[in-house]
Structure 1
Amino acid sequence: MLPIFIILLLAEPVKVKTPRGDVVVNVSGKEKDVSIKDVKNSILDRLEEIEKLLPKPGTEMTHMRRKRLINLLEQIAGLVEFIPSEGVISIGDTLKKNGTIIEGMDDSSFSKLVERLNQEEFSEDKLKILEVAASHNYFYVYQVCKVLEGFTDGEDRLKALRLLWPVVVDRENGFKILSLFEFEDEKSQAEKILKED
Structure 2
Amino acid sequence: MDLISDIKAIIQAPKETAIRAVDHERTLMYWKVGQRIFEEEQVGKDRAEYGLYLTQLIAEQLEPEFGSGFSRRQIELFRQFYRQFPIANTLYSQLSWSQYKLLIRLDTQDKREFYIAETVKNNWTVRQLERQINSSLWERLLLSNDRESVLAVARSEQNPSDAKEIIKDPMYLEFLGLKKGNHLIMRRI
One fold, TM greater than 0.5?
no
TM-score scaled by structure 1? 0.28
TM-score normalised by length of structure 2? 0.28
Q: Which has the higher strand share?
A: 1
